[in-house]
């Protein structure tokens, strides 16, 4: 009798999202106030545990210290790229073949663009309808006395369907002291008569804002475009571009794609782990980075999560994740109910759909 009471007591104090056990209900409530669990967190398809990132879900499923029951099932029915679970081994195999992408076309395009065939394409053509999400990437050459100052030497912009919108060499405003040829493939003659940075900056700026004044840009319902990239702060800084944070989707700063330590993963790693192919080998074309970030974005955006009217902890309706609830009130509700009223502290990209 006693031991049964005890175990039901422990069960009562178990977080319904991450399964952490607490000795006392008040500690679980404290945990819920600061953990921002939500339906948008990556979740194990087997035991339904919520994880803060796909990296921690990967650890849970594959190792080095996996949950054994989940690992066993995952090894038969789990996709190693998107980490979803399927009904059977054969449906997993069919899925995984499609889930793994390749960079075949990237190689082709890279060769074409290095011949200059695709420079300046389309951005001037009133490309205004339809695709509202674009990905941007740069390749940097070196400036300054030791060549360590990053200067944008090449930039690419693509649409949702991986079509090139803009792809050009850029003439930096100060002298280039290191072309970093082994990785950029950029030679002095490519930049000599290239488009000046100022012009590149204003073309991209106008394209992103799409006729909307910067101060008027709102996350929804406007004409301005969503900008996807990896480490965009640095790219935008080097392009001398400003763009509102609400319109930016950065694969280096998106919590589900970050390391458990909350540091960024490299784009090379993310592409290998989540899309299943290699990038940034040898001479690099920014088109390849654009495609990888766009694919990662799409994969995140089409995660199927429950639809909530007020998805953020910061929405007034959620009362700042429990802030206005009295402790005693919260201690009376079940862990599942606590999870049901808990909301995310980051913007999940599924909300773009």
Q: Given the rule CB under 5 A, which residues bind Zn ion?
A: 15, 17-18, 35, 40, 44, 46-47, 49, 70, 79, 81-82, 99, 305, 348, 350
Closer residue to Zn ion, CB minimum distance, 234 or 305: 305
Residue 64: asked if its preceding bond is cis (omega within 30°), the reply is: yes
Residues 6+ apart with CB under 8 A from 290: 135, 136, 137, 156, 157, 158, 162, 229
∠ CA 191-178-183, nearest 5°, is 80
Residues 6+ apart with CB under 8 A from 3: none
Task: Compute the Cα dihedral for 337, 339, 343, 347 and give only its sign.
Answer: negative
* Closest distance of CB 201 from Zn ion, Å: 33
Closer residue to Zn ion, CB minimum distance, 157 or 348: 348
Q: Which residue has the tokens 């004044």?
A: 213
Closer residue to Zn ion, CB minimum distance, 15 or 133: 15
Alpha helix positions (H), the chain: 2-12, 25-35, 54-62, 68-77, 89-99, 104-114, 181-184, 188-192, 197-209, 232-238, 267-270, 286-301, 319-322, 327-332, 335-341
Closer residue to Zn ion, CB minimum distance, 91 or 148: 91
* Closest distance of CB 345 from Zn ion, Å: 13
Q: What are phi and psi of 225, to 5 degrees?
A: -95, 150
* Closest distance of CB 81 from Zn ion, Å: 5
Closer residue to Zn ion, CB minimum distance, 180 or 253: 253
Report the 10 Å Cβ neighbour count for 256.
20
* Closest distance of CB 37 from Zn ion, Å: 5
* Closest distance of CB 244 from Zn ion, Å: 21
* Closest distance of CB 313 from Zn ion, Å: 14
Closer residue to Zn ion, CB minimum distance, 71 or 234: 71
d(CA 164, CA 141): 22
* Closest distance of CB 61 from Zn ion, Å: 7
* Closest distance of CB 11 from Zn ion, Å: 14
Task: Compute the Cα dihedral for 337, 341, 343, 349 and give only its sign.
Answer: positive
Task: Give which of 351, 336, 322 is closest to 16, Cα–Cα.
Answer: 336
Helix axis angle, 54-62 to 68-77, nearest 10° = 100
Closer residue to Zn ion, CB minimum distance, 47 or 117: 47
Closer residue to Zn ion, CB minimum distance, 152 or 348: 348
């Amino acid at each position: 009798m006693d031991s049964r009471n005890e175990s039901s007591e422990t069960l009562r104090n178990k977080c319904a999202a991450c399964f952490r056990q607490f000795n006392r209900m008040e500690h679980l409530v404290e945990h819920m106030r600061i953990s921002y669990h939500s339906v948008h967190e990556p979740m194990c398809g087997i035991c339904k545990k919520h994880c803060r990132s796909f990296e921690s879900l990967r650890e849970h499923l594959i190792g080095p210290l996996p949950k054994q029951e989940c690992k066993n099932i995952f090894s038969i029915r789990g996709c190693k790229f998107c980490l979803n679970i399927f009904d059977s081994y054969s449906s997993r195999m069919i899925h995984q073949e499609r889930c793994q992408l390749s960079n075949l076309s990237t190689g082709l395009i890279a060769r074409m663009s290095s011949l200059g065939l695709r420079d300046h394409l389309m951005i001037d053509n009133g490309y205004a309808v339809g695709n509202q999400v674009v990905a941007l990437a740069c390749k940097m050459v070196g400036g300054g006395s030791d060549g360590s100052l990053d200067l944008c030497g090449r930039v690419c912009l693509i649409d949702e369907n991986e079509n090139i919108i803009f792809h050009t060499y850029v003439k930096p405003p100060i002298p280039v002291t290191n072309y970093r040829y082994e990785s950029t493939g950029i030679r002095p003659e490519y930049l000599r008569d290239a488009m000046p940075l100022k012009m590149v900056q204003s073309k991209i700026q106008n394209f992103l804002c799409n006729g909307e004044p910067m101060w008027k840009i709102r996350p929804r319902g406007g004409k301005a475009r969503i900008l996807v990239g990896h480490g965009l702060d640095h790219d935008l800084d080097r392009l001398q571009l400003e763009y509102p944070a609400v319109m930016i989707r950065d694969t280096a700063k998106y919590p589900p794609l970050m390391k458990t330590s909350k540091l960024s993963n490299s784009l090379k790693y993310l592409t290998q782990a989540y899309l299943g192919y290699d990038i940034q080998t040898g001479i690099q074309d920014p088109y390849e980075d654009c495609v990888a970030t766009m694919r990662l974005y799409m994969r995140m955006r089409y995660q199927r999560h429950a639809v909530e009217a007020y998805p953020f902890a910061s929405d007034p309706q959620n009362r700042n994740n429990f802030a206005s609830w009295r402790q005693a009130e919260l201690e009376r509700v079940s862990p599942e109910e606590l999870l049901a009223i808990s909301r995310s502290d980051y913007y999940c990209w599924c909300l773009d759909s």
